[in-house]
Structure 1
Amino acid sequence: MQWYTLFTLILAVPSSAIVRFHCSQLVTQRLDPLVNPGLIPSSHVHQIVGGNSFNATMDPKKDMPGHSTCTTCQFGDDFSNYWTATLYFRAQNGSYKRVHTIGNNQFETANGGLTIYYMQDAIYTSNQSSKVTAFKPGFRMFIGDISARSLEQAERFRQLTYVCMDTWTQRAPESIHFPNRPCPDGITISQRFPTCWDGVNLDSPDHMSHMAYPETGTFESGGPCPATHPVRTPQVFFEVVWDTKPFNNLTWPVDENNQTVNPFVWSFGDATGYANHADYVFGWKGDALQKIMDTDSYFNSTGSGARLPLQTIEQMNNCTQAPIVTEDIDGWLTSLSGGYQSQYS
């Protein structure tokens, strides 16, 4: 579901709460304090947005608002960090070139990055059926399977999808694999996190087990949370627009049968798209996020209450962080950083 559809729904659902905002790029490098804490460099390249206290360790006790001096997010109180793997184009000769993100609709002048949503279940149903509790300091989570290379392996993460954009408003149906044709206006990736918390653990060894989707498997069903995870949280939803346009007229690779194959590959080698994944570390200041969740009809950073400080896109773009892992990630590369090559199985 894209932003313009959500906007239509919210007009009909006055008791709901949603916020959509953008976060410009903070840094792109091989660091992953959630899956590879303390490892410099981490296994593969990520694009990171949010507070500039991001580092290789991110101790759960860290005061993220207190340690940050700026944030790339539109909400000045949001010092969370959000990140995904980066996307590359593989040419017919086997070399790789990084694909950049662009600002989403209404944020086209942003320095790449991600569009973030926090939503209540009323967005998908006719009324708000549950109390939504904001995350706590030290909370973090992960979604996806980095080793998935088939539909069977990826089916449990059907909330991670791709859309081939013909225009901003004309888009192909969602899929859980890479689009199989050139996309005139780029590829949008949607990453929807679980919405039921066990109410105890701020993290878990796999960074997923402390969270769950509703019993019926989807947030939008309005189904109850399982007894093991009784606390309803906002749905965190990343929307990432990859600017694949510069590669549409280049020669795409072919397989052993001389058939054109998808040329895009994640920074860890997945060329199927099934290993789509995302990371989230909560860092909102005070009770700012709870105020948003308790406010009716809160959309596109405006609403009837919870007036929180907003930044201009220029201020968001000015918050950057120098990479501590120095390597070429932007030239034509013979292999992906970390030594990865494209994998179709």
Structure 2
Amino acid sequence: MMKPNKFVALTWMIIASGCGGSDGSGGEPEQPALALKPATPTFSLKPDAIISEPYAHIEFSSDLASSYECQLDSGDESGDIQECVSPQLLMPLTADSHRLKVWAVADSRARSDPAELSWQVASVFGTDGNVHTDLINTPVMPSKADPASWRGIFRINCDFAHSSYHDPIVYPGQANAAHLHRFYGNTLVDETTDIDSLFTKGESSCQGNTLNRSAYWVPALLAPEYNPATGEALYDEQGDLRWRVVPAVVGNDDEAHEIFYYSAGVDDVDAIQSIPVGMKIIAGNAKAGPGQQQDTGIVRWHCQSWESSDADNPRWSSAIPECVAPDRLRMDVFFPSCWNGTDLDSADHQSHLAYPQLGSGTQGMICPATHPVPIIRVSFHYAFGVTPDVYEPQSKSSRGWRLASDMYEVTLDSHGGMSLHADWMNAWHPEVLQTVLDVCIREGLDCHDGNLANGFRLTGTRPGSQTEPPVINMGMGN
């Protein structure tokens, strides 16, 4: 992928011989410019001979160049040659040998001899004995997935990273333009985040650390504040209810609360492809409210005590139910898993993808013709404790809770949470995500706790900054 991050000023010159006019006034005729061949480019920044990351930063220059052409991983000059600039960020790169050729091109279109650069991207699983630092050996082999529930699944835990009013998908480059979100995964995510920075910078609050720099975020879940002594609601200086964030029960290595799943959305698991690096997806409708409740097959709420399941007890709610302490409120968000095969994003951040549909006869769940490429299905699964610091004192329940994205009045008849939605940007190490597909999903396994079912599991969770800005305007911000 010849995708520049920035441009470098380059100098070039044209050398001509002769002088005088060309109008017949006695001077010698003007001579054409010499088509000088540019010097072979030199590399000022290049990868080591063997690298562990699936990307490479490369810089090059040539004194007589007005432009450059690059070719990655092709045996001869008949391969794909593209115009390029320095510096180059090459990503994603497979665990294999790679070669880059660079030609300097003069204004006359004369080309230099190619400069060549070769290097190796090592496998994270250590074919040379050098295993990636974010993998741990494990003798535990996952069991088969429940055929009545999942065709094959991989589950990871994540700690809370931070909270902010940013949204790099909907409001890129705009600080504090969104409602209050809670972020998991890459700890550096803010309004400036793009796929280049997401894939190459920062750590992660999820298992696997740098092997999974993906970004996950959801609107904050909020509860009214009450006086702990009297149980009366508290109000701010403007006479509005005060709100506090209801924290999710996030994962840790001792007690698993897996909140992000990767699974199969179609029945033909062999047809499923991995998710391209850089894909952006939003699931759910942030504008939904009373009278336009969402499909509980996409987003849903339930009390943990209901023991809901798709196979045996499909008891779901499109709004937040009143779960009574010591119960937990749970939410599920299922992302679309049928891709148009071309676009990593779309204007609404949704239409480049579609949900599977029931095929005819014995086909089972298939992708529609408009979006024919099945990819790994992503889903978020959160649990929120109904505890004294957040429950409504009279009912000791989740009564009155709302999402920061709810644009309607929450009442006893119109419960909060109808605007449930979630955002995701893919920055998994491609070799690891392909292993999830090949081993866990296609083999029909239930891979818990980051277990890759190949003798390795992902390293544990870690916190981000855990920054909590104040709740402004019921979480809707300014």
Q: Which runs of 5+ in 1 are unaligned?
A: 1-6, 254-259, 341-345
Question: What corresponds to 1:267 in structure 2?
Answer: 404
**Distance in 2 between residues matched to 1:109 and 1:215, nearest whole Å:** 32
Match of 2:474 in 1: 336
Following the alignment from structure 2 to structure 1, what is the Cα–Cα distance between the partners of residues 186 and 477? 29
Relative distance call for 1:278 and 1:103 in structure 2 (3 A) is: same
**1:278: which partner in 2?**
422
- Does 2:434 match 1:290? yes
**Structure 1 contact 160–192 (Cα < 8 Å) conserved:** yes
Aligned pairs for 1:151-190 (under 5 A) are 152-156=291-295, 158-166=297-305, 173-190=315-332
Partners of 1:236 and 1:135 lie apart in 2 by 10
Contact 1:165–1:172 at 8 Å: present in 2 too? Answer: no
Q: Paired residue for 1:18?
A: 153
**Structure 2 CA distance for aligned equivalents of residues 81 and 222 of structure 1:** 31
SS of residue matched to 1:250? coil
Over 3 Å counting, the alpha-carbon distance change for 1:133 and 1:63 in structure 2 is farther
Letter in 2 for 1:186: R
By how many angstroms is 1:101 displaced? Answer: 1.2
Query: Structure 1's 52 and 208: CA in aligned 2 closer, same or farther, altered over 3 A?
Result: same
Deviation at 1:302, TM superposition (A): 2.6
What residue number does 1:44 align with?
179
Separation of aligned partners in 2, 1:261 and 1:16: 33
Paired with 1:281 and 1:240, the residues of 2 have a C-alpha distance of 18
Once the two structures are superposed, residues 14-35 of structure 1 have per-residue CA deviations (whole angstroms, 9 ceiling, x without a partner) of: x953101111111111111111
1:34 and 1:107 map into 2 onto residues whose CA distance is 33
Distance 1:177 1:169 in 2: 15
Aligned residue for 1:72?
205
CA distance in 1, matches of 2:314, 2:387: 16
**Partner amino acid, structure 1, of 2:402:** V
8 Å contact 1:51–1:65 — kept in the other structure? Answer: no
Match of 1:82 among 168, 193, 216: 216
Structure-1 separation of matches of 2:325 and 2:337: 31
- Equivalent residue for 1:203? 345
Cα drift, residue 89 of structure 1: 0.8
CA contact (8 A) 2:318 2:417 kept: yes
Question: Which structure dedicates a bigger proportion of its chain to helix?
Answer: 1
Q: Is the 8 A contact 2:330 2:383 kept in 1?
A: yes
Give the secondary-structure state (helix, strand or coil) at the position aligned to 1:294.
helix
Deviation at 1:235, TM superposition (A): 1.1
Aligned length: 303
Match of 2:364 among 222, 233, 238: 222
Where 1:274 maps in the other structure, the secondary structure is: coil
Distance in 1 of aligned mates of 2:464 and 2:182: 12
Contact 2:143–2:446 (8 Å) recurs in 1 = no
Partner of 1:256: none
Equivalent runs, 1:241-252 vs 2, <5 Å = 241-246=383-388, 247-248=390-391, 250-251=393-394
Structure-2 change in CA distance of 1:165 and 1:241 (3 Å): same
RMSD over equivalenced CA pairs, Å: 3.4
The structural deviation recorded for 1:311 is: 1.4
- The TM-score with structure 2 as length reference comes to 0.56
Whether the aligned pair in 1 keeps the contact of 2:297 and 2:334 (CA below 8 Å) is no
Listed one character per residue, the Cα deviations across residues 190-243 of structure 1 (whole Å, up to 9, x for unaligned) are 1111110000000001110001011349xxx93221111000011101011112
Q: TM-score, normalised by structure 1?
A: 0.76
Distance 1:162 1:213 in 2: 20
Aligned-partner SS, 2:294: helix
Identify, as 1 or 2, the structure richer in strand.
Answer: 2
- Ranked by relative contact order (alpha carbons within 8 Å, sequence separation 6 or more), the top structure is 1
- Seq. identity, %: 23
Give the secondary structure class of the aligned counterpart of 2:447: coil
- In structure 2, what is the equivalent of residue 96 of structure 1? 243
- Determine helix, strand or coil for the equivalent of 2:365: coil
With over 3 angstroms needed to count, the CA separation of the structure-2 counterparts of 1:339 and 1:286, relative to structure 1, is closer
| Residue pair 2:179, 2:477 contacting (<8 A) in 1 also | no
Letter in 1 for 2:292: Q
In 2, the alpha carbon distance for the partners of 1:169 and 1:158 equals 13
